[in-house]
């Protein structure tokens, strides 16, 4: 289950309380507070707290304009300008704190983004639950022959059944031994900090993750991309739903300039200019490597 009965009771209690405040609030994300967005088979994302909104981004940006503030364009136009020109500090004025439940192997990818504050469930202090990520059949795929860190064709039939059986059986067996090691009848069992080493990477962990909007958008640009690993991408997509409601102007600009846009090298831009003049440009005459050319052609569609 994504949340335990105890967690659900806490969530219900928190959502039933309302407290007057003088701070700026964003109605779009207020609706998300404490709600659970299910992800994968046992995971979730939920908003614990936030600071700032679209107006806070503009407020921070306009501080540097001084007396010129009155001539500044509307908020959405300003935010699009900031996004277009890669300004960062105005977006850092907004922060988001999430409670995330995720498989350990996804957490190890996620933690590579070192610009957030993280506090993870302690398997030294507490006992991990018997919950493992077991992929759906259509998420099982062979190793890609083109991309060393990607997937190829989907597995099917007996091969898919065999893989799913191994994943389930091995995870359960490892957890059985984990329980045995920490629960020796009549004597102290193995220390939890040692017993945890036997658990597989698909067991679930939880953490609180706090990040500013600038670094959150960088995370989403990489992890919500179609080329990202599926298991972390679905978390990023769930967070995208939250961010779109929280800072709609910033998110639309992000979709346009980061997710929907592309960055071209000087060589690639020169090729575009040559093509616009009617010249036939090939990989051999482009000045690009085969990999660069393949990506360039992909950008042009």
201 close to 75: Cβ distance less than 8 angstroms: no
Give which of 15, 92, 5, 91 is closest to 46, Cα–Cα. 15
Q: Two tokens at 84?
A: 């277009």
Angle at CA of residue 163, ends 160 and 168, nearest 5°? 125
CA-wise closest residue to 264 among 285, 288, 281, 283: 288
Q: Which of 223, 233, 274, 294 is catalytic?
A: 223
Helix 266-276 vs helix 290-300: crossing angle, to nearest 10: 50
CA proximity to 254, closest of 116, 102, 112, 84: 84
Whether 196 is catalytic is: no
CA distance 18 to 69: 35
Q: Rounded CA gap, 245 and 269, in Å?
A: 35
Report CA dihedral (114, 140, 198, 105) to the nearest 10 degrees.
0
The answer to whether residues 203 and 98 touch, using CB atoms and an 8 Å cutoff, is: no
Q: Among all residues, which ones are annotated catalytic?
A: 223
């Amino acid at each position: 289950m994504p949340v335990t009965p105890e967690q659900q009771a806490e969530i219900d209690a928190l959502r039933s309380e309302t407290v007057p405040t003088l701070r700026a609030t964003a109605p779009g994300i207020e609706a998300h507070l404490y709600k659970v967005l299910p992800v994968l088979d046992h995971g979730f994302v939920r908003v614990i707290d936030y600071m700032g909104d679209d107006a806070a981004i503009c407020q921070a940006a306009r501080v540097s304009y001084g007396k010129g503030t009155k001539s500044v364009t509307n908020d959405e136009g300003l935010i699009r300008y900031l996004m277009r020109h890669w300004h960062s500090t105005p977006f850092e004025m907004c922060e988001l704190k999430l409670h995330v439940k995720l498989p350990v192997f996804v957490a190890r990818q996620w933690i590579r983004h070192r610009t957030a504050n993280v506090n993870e469930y302690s398997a030294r202090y507490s006992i991990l639950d018997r919950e493992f990520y077991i992929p759906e059949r259509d998420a099982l795929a062979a190793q890609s022959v083109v991309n060393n860190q990607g997937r190829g064709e989907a597995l099917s039939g007996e091969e898919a059944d065999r893989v799913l059986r191994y994943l389930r059986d091995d995870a359960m067996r490892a957890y059985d031994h984990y329980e045995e090691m920490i629960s020796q009848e009549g004597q102290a069992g193995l220390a939890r900090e040692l017993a945890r080493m036997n658990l597989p990477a698909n067991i679930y962990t939880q953490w609180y993750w706090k990040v500013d909007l600038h670094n959150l958008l960088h995370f989403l640009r990489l992890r919500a991309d179609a080329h990202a690993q599926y298991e972390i991408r679905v978390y990023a997509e769930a967070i995208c739903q939250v961010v779109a409601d929280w800072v709609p102007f910033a998110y639309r600009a992000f979709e346009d300039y980061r997710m929907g846009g592309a960055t071209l090298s000087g060589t690639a831009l020169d090729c575009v200019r040559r093509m616009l003049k009617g010249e036939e440009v090939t990989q051999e005459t482009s000045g690009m490597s085969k990999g660069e050319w393949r990506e360039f052609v992909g950008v042009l569609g």
